[in-house]
Structure 1
Amino acid sequence: MALEELTYGATRNALQGAELLFILFLRFMIILFRPDIVDRENRVQPPPTSELLARYDFVVIGGGSAGAVIANRLSENSNWTILLLEAGDDESFVSEAPLTFPTLQLSNMDWQFKTEPSLNYCLAMKDKRCNWPRGKVLGGSSVLNAMLYVRGNKRDYDQWSELGNEGWDYESVLPYFKKSEDNRIAELDGSPYHGKGGPLTVENFRHRSPITEYFLQAGRDLGYETVDINGAQQTGFTYSPGTLRDGLRLSTAKAFLRPCSSRKNLHIATNSFVEEIMIGETSKTAYGVKFRRGLRRYSVYANCEVIASAGAIQTPQLLMLSGVGPADHLLKVGIPVIQDLPGVGQNLQDHVAMGGLSYLIDAPKHEAHESHDFSFVLPKLMTLNTVLQFVRNETGPLYLVPECEAMAFVNTKLNDESMHDFPDVQLFLSSAADNADGGLFGIHGCGLCEEFYAGLYDDILYQDSYAAVPLVLRPKSRGYIKLRNSDPKYQPIIVPNYFDDPRDLEVLVEAAKFVDRLSLTPTMRSINARPNGNVIRECAAHEFRSDDYWRCQARHYTMTIYHPTGTCKMGPVTDSMAVVDAKLQVHGITGLRVIDASIMPNIVTGNTNAPTIMIAEKGADMIKEAWRHYAGGPMNRRSTSKLQSPLDWHVNEQREEIIRQTRSSLQKITELFETDLPVLNEIRDNEDYDYD
């Protein structure tokens, strides 16, 4: 047995080396044959630090799924200056090929966060810590994700509104989904739920494994229709729609930043890590940020607003580093409290999922397809022909994401039957189980221990299979983000508290039973679908596939679907745990908004990228409305003032606070009179005015 284990391990290790060579070869071939992917003319060209200004009208922190949208929309006003600060660099060429999605995790485009060790979940992961990938790159996590375009359920947004967030009901947010969208799925043309002509192209994946048809038919066997999950009805099965253009990944950087990066009033600074938002201790007004670029630190000032779009992990971290958050926690780590907001970093939600639901199949042999491509087996596709198909014919398996070729939104017996079309489980239906890629997704992406993977999959390595990954759509458990210390360089403490509410675990148990029922449908039995018979060693005390076994499996093979939300909760001032109001303004702080997934009061019933883009579209409109009478600050008057490069943080913050307060007051007077008074403009826009 030891010899067999050694052989299996050697096979997997050899494949991992081949994967690296395959990716390098793919990159080389893209450079040679796919100028549309290289796209040198349109990629963002960040200005050197010497070209950055000392003051902008708006400073946006984070160039991800939300920040890219905000920078685009605000810079549509040519009188305003915008600085977008992104800690990472531009996305790689290889990331645009959908199949490469798992290889992007733990790359230099990933912050590589991990949850704190737990005895309740992630038990099969290295050090009992789940990997939490987050994008450190222009486009943020839209560069790392599986490209799925899912909006959530109508009730999600109606419930947000019922919590006191006026203007966030479904009818109010639908126009913002449609504003971004350029739907290219033919059968959805003319739908009142979809948009045309927006920056964000939505397509079906160009390549599809034949087994995907079986998934949808199996759903029909169980009474579930094939539906547009972003339309009138969410419950049902579907081919996965994606944020794709011509079959390639469409990140928000590609969709929103490249088209506007040449605007004179927009500076996009990459490799710029924000360490603090500058907030006046007395005025409680945000007036700029401190950031590090290269070996130097800089301060940059905002005439109007600072917008935090760093995501559900780093936005609360940044607020706390800046003195906004739970007072007791800030004092404990040595940070002076500017605004006591207990909800910062709390209310962390994620769609917890269960891995390991794997089924072997016998691929059919008939004229419609070759048996070797019926499901996804990685070694069979790592060939010269696969690369040539991609770079020359723009076809082939590099255009698919096997982990989620189809999706389903279904109901378990635990769901409230009175809530029509409000499913409690989402299934990702994969044309490959974990055995099919030698651990690329499970070991590399999720962080599974080698021994755990080997026990489940080594003796069925690279056999035809499929998998289903169920996730809890409306988890009851809540986690938190806290600072490790006062140093911005240290990653925060991430505690998701999966299964803290036992109902979440029971939903996964019922979801596993549903997946088993799916395997027993006539459609799946026609390809001899059968469960992987290998038992999880740590769960062997329980009857195989019993409720207790499923509970044990969920605690061991715990998965994130990369949907952290809720850590800067939106809510009225009467909600003690709310961080921002319905205009996304931070409670108690002037000139500071949070616009990203962290503002969700409750996580949406589906993937979070499309809702985050919607939030950014709506947030940008709120800013435009708030500053509709603002004609632009002095930097738009051909000022030559450039960003200084101090070696420390010493700045005249009192003077900056006075300037910021004065300009804010003048803006309010201008809005009151609903006109631009010449004398006010002269004072407001005169950079040399004696404020002292």
Structure 2
Amino acid sequence: MIGNPDLKTLLGLIPLLAFFGPTIDDRSDNSKSLSLLSRKSWEKEYDYIIVGGGTAGSVLARRLSDIPENRVLVIEAGGMENIMHEIPLAWSTLKKSEYDWNYKTESQEVACFGYEDKRITWTSGKVLGGTSSMSNMIYVRGNAFDFDGWLKEGALGWSWDEVYPYFLKSEDNLDTEIAFNGYHRQGGLMGISKSPFTSELGKTWLQAGLSLGYRSTDCNSQKQSGFTIPQGFIRKGGRSSAYKTFLEPVKDRNNLHIMLHSRVTRILFGDNKRAVGVQFDRDSLSFVVYAKSEIILTAGTISTPHLLMVSGVGPADHLESLKIPIVADLPVGENLHDHPYTGGITFSVSGVKTLKIDEIFSPQNFLRYLVSGSGPLTSFGGIEGVAFMTSKYTNSSGDWPDIELILVNGDLQDNSKLMTVKMKELYNSTRSLNTFTILPVILRPKSRGWLRLKTANPVDYPLIDPLYLTHPDDIMVMVEAIKSALAIGTSKPYKDLEASLVPLMIPSCDHYDWLSDQYLACWARVMTGTVGDVVGTCKMGPPWDRSSVVDPELRLLGGITGLRVADASIMPRIISGNINAAVIMIAEKAADMILGRKLEAFSGPIPTDYSSLKELNRN
């Protein structure tokens, strides 16, 4: 993936950013938002307390505060976005910064052998806007079979026909060749379009797919399978984060209070297991605030279960071992999974120029971005192509791909700091080359991990073990995904650009024949990575399912009232694609549940006589 540019270069460009930033169309003046940081007082009680001002929290805060009578408090552990959050290509510069929770997995049993202690870091946004403010921005809804599968497992109200309108509700599709195909809409809050920048590598992506028999597609329409130039969360060249889209325009509402740099440490329960308030730390002091109606947890797949467990909601034996009083015995922290990929499938190319880190963050490119919202800095983290395909291990009769390929324009220095010495040397050997990478991703992994408390202290990070590639089916699908990536990178359209595979001879795999199935399986276990789509730790399901944490209305089970979860942790199974769009959908649907509203279900092209059109257009 795109690595970190030289820090001195970025610091030297700050005056330029400060000068131009507020003058650009649709760029907010963050100085006006600094009033959020100076809030010194708050009410003792609100109707709704939203814990976490990330992707889902921003949506819910907007929708609930649309009703003037509702008093809404958002409590966010991080601070405000800065100009670097707005630049699509610059998102990796924010990794391991104050804006990143910077979680780290436990040592993996059968994966991540190329990393020190077999551990990798997980980026998660610690900022108003959450991970939507520092991700690769790709817009994918998933597949209808994903959500129909949720329904079959007991998540009533979450079929594709029922969630589809909530994807549309927030969408403002700005690509005219896609916006009017019947599966998109304009007029929502969230800007969606392709990047203004497409290199020769990106343009060749569709040709490469066609050369191997794959069609070009809009993966968010009738058919997901195929090759596409991806759309992303972007407007006029700048990131369209959840904060900027949903919260920034209404941040000064009288009935909406936003507390930054404030970390919730416990949920408070009253009589009959009712959630009545939260305790939070700010400026080294501890405070309590109460909720009249509900507390809604939108802190994400790691922080939400962490907070529940330190508050006494989780597996009884685990909580007892830490002497935490038990409120409810629920399988919080189980069912952890995400989208793993295999790194290092890199191709050198001499026929075109690629995005090299030491060249791309130049004053000229910054100026082009700030003045016209164009140029390479508008690239979605270097991602210029996406493909969805079906392996031989899944039923091909329906359109339900189990593999995703991601074309990344640029070098691969981003994760090398975490690698073993031998793997660092291997990766550093590619520094002088013009390269691109194809990341093979398995979309429906069967491996399931867990999250546990390390201590009862709410400030201590939890233990995270994704158990990557522990299910035998996952490595079989990954090998097929790697083969597909190799086939695309060596296809005639890329060979015409003088592309060739960089032969990374991985030391621990050299006893296998080069590029045999055994070698590819070894490669996958050495170079295991994550797209960052972590889900499942507060699983949604019917009350009779003992693996459920929340019901289909997102209310906590175990006799608890006044408490909901509305983030990626509720997904019973991960969707077939990047999850940010689905998290926004979950929050939109949760808001309607809380407010007693519901969009009419439908599938296919948007009906001209759709009865909920007026409600769909409500912003």
Q: TM-score, normalised by structure 1?
A: 0.83
> In 2, distance between residues paired with 1:513 and 1:404?
20
- Which amino acid is 1:155 matched to? F
Q: Of 566, 587, 592, which aligns to 1:621? A: 592
Shift of 1:377: 2.0
- Which amino acid is 1:300 matched to? V
> In 1, distance between residues paired with 2:247 and 2:371?
27
Matches within 5 A, 1:121-160: 121-160=111-150
Q: Report whether the alignment pairs 1:442 with 2:415.
A: yes
> In 2, distance between residues paired with 1:319 and 1:286?
11
Shift of 1:617: 0.2
Q: Of 362, 371, 389, which aligns to 1:392? A: 371
Give the aligned partner of residue 630 of structure 1.
none
Residue pair 1:29, 1:391 contacting (<8 A) in 2 also: no
Residue pair 2:90, 2:381 contacting (<8 A) in 1 also: no
Q: Report whether the alignment pairs 1:85 with 2:63.
A: no
Matches within 5 A, 1:231-246: 231-246=221-236
Give the aligned partner of residue 415 of structure 1.
394
Residue pair 2:21, 2:83 contacting (<8 A) in 1 also: no
Secondary structure of 2:30 counterpart: coil
Q: Report whether the alignment pairs 1:550 with 2:538.
A: no
Matches within 5 A, 1:61-80: 61-80=51-70
Cα deviation code 1:222-246 (max 9, x no counterpart):
1111111111110011111110111
Q: Report whether the alignment pairs 1:590 with 2:578.
A: no
Secondary structure of 2:596 counterpart: helix
- Deviation larger for 378-387 or 248-257: 378-387
The structure whose residues are more often helix, as a share, is 1
Give the aligned partner of residue 601 of structure 1.
572
> In 2, distance between residues paired with 1:450 and 1:70?
45
Residue pair 1:58, 1:303 contacting (<8 A) in 2 also: yes
Identity %: 39
Q: Of 424, 427, 439, which aligns to 2:402? A: 424
Shift of 1:215: 1.2
Work out the number of aligned pairs and report it. 592
> In 2, distance between residues paired with 1:524 and 1:81?
56
Give the aligned partner of residue 613 of structure 2.
none
Give the aligned partner of residue 6 of structure 2.
19
> In 2, distance between residues paired with 1:47 and 1:381?
33
Shift of 1:620: 0.5
Matches within 5 A, 1:1-16: none
Give the aligned partner of residue 606 of structure 2.
none
Query: Unaligned stretches of 5+ in structure 1?
Result: 1-14, 364-370, 628-692
- Which amino acid is 1:470 matched to? P
Residue pair 2:387, 2:405 contacting (<8 A) in 1 also: yes
Secondary structure of 1:388 counterpart: helix
Cα deviation code 1:623-668 (max 9, x no counterpart):
01189xxxxxxxxxxxxxxxxxxxxxxxxxxxxxxxxxxxxxxxxx
- Which amino acid is 1:25 matched to? G
Secondary structure of 2:290 counterpart: strand
Q: Of 528, 542, 549, which aligns to 1:579? A: 549
Residue pair 1:443, 1:450 contacting (<8 A) in 2 also: no
Cα deviation code 1:303-335 (max 9, x no counterpart):
000001110111111111111111000001110
Q: Of 24, 28, 32, which aligns to 2:19? A: 32
Residue pair 1:31, 1:38 contacting (<8 A) in 2 also: no
Q: Of 170, 175, 180, which aligns to 1:190? A: 180
- Deviation larger for 51-60 or 524-533: 524-533
Give the aligned partner of residue 260 of structure 2.
270
Residue pair 1:275, 1:292 contacting (<8 A) in 2 also: yes
Q: Report whether the alignment pairs 1:405 with 2:384.
A: yes
Give the aligned partner of residue 345 of structure 2.
357
Give the aligned partner of residue 96 of structure 2.
106
- Which amino acid is 1:624 matched to? L
Cα deviation code 1:416-447 (max 9, x no counterpart):
223x110010111112242xxxx2x1225xx3
CA separation of 1:268/1:572 partners in 2, compared to 1, >3 Å: closer, same or farther?
Answer: same
Shift of 1:48: 4.4
Give the aligned partner of residue 521 of structure 1.
491
Q: TM-score, normalised by structure 2?
A: 0.93
> In 1, distance between residues paired with 2:553 and 2:373?
44
- Which amino acid is 1:451 matched to? K
Shift of 1:413: 1.4
Secondary structure of 1:331 counterpart: helix
> In 2, distance between residues paired with 1:125 and 1:38?
40
Q: Report whether the alignment pairs 1:284 with 2:255.
A: no
Secondary structure of 2:320 counterpart: helix
Shift of 1:454: 1.8
- Which amino acid is 1:582 matched to? P
Residue pair 2:91, 2:381 contacting (<8 A) in 1 also: no
- Deviation larger for 610-619 or 397-406: 397-406
Shift of 1:250: 1.2
> In 2, distance between residues paired with 1:576 and 1:621?
27
> In 1, distance between residues paired with 2:391 and 2:411?
23
- Which amino acid is 1:546 matched to? S
- Which amino acid is 2:357 matched to? L
Secondary structure of 1:34 counterpart: helix
Shift of 1:44: 6.1
Larger radius of gyration: 1
Secondary structure of 1:415 counterpart: coil
Cα deviation code 1:117-174 (max 9, x no counterpart):
1231112123321110111100001111101111100111111111111111111111
Secondary structure of 2:227 counterpart: strand
- Which amino acid is 2:576 matched to? T
Cα deviation code 1:321-375 (max 9, x no counterpart):
111111000001110101111x210001111110000111221xxxxxxx4x3x2
Secondary structure of 1:148 counterpart: coil
Q: Of 291, 294, 314, which aligns to 1:305? A: 294
Secondary structure of 1:84 counterpart: strand
Shift of 1:607: 0.5
> In 2, distance between residues paired with 1:259 and 1:382?
30
Matches within 5 A, 1:175-214: 175-214=165-204
> In 2, distance between residues paired with 1:568 and 1:208?
39
> In 2, distance between residues paired with 1:198 and 1:450?
49
Give the aligned partner of residue 602 of structure 2.
none
CA separation of 1:108/1:377 partners in 2, compared to 1, >3 Å: closer, same or farther?
Answer: same
Give the aligned partner of residue 319 of structure 2.
330
Query: Unaligned stretches of 5+ in structure 2?
Result: 599-619
> In 1, distance between residues paired with 2:30 and 2:501?
48
CA separation of 1:458/1:51 partners in 2, compared to 1, >3 Å: closer, same or farther?
Answer: closer
Residue pair 2:232, 2:380 contacting (<8 A) in 1 also: no
Give the aligned partner of residue 438 of structure 2.
468
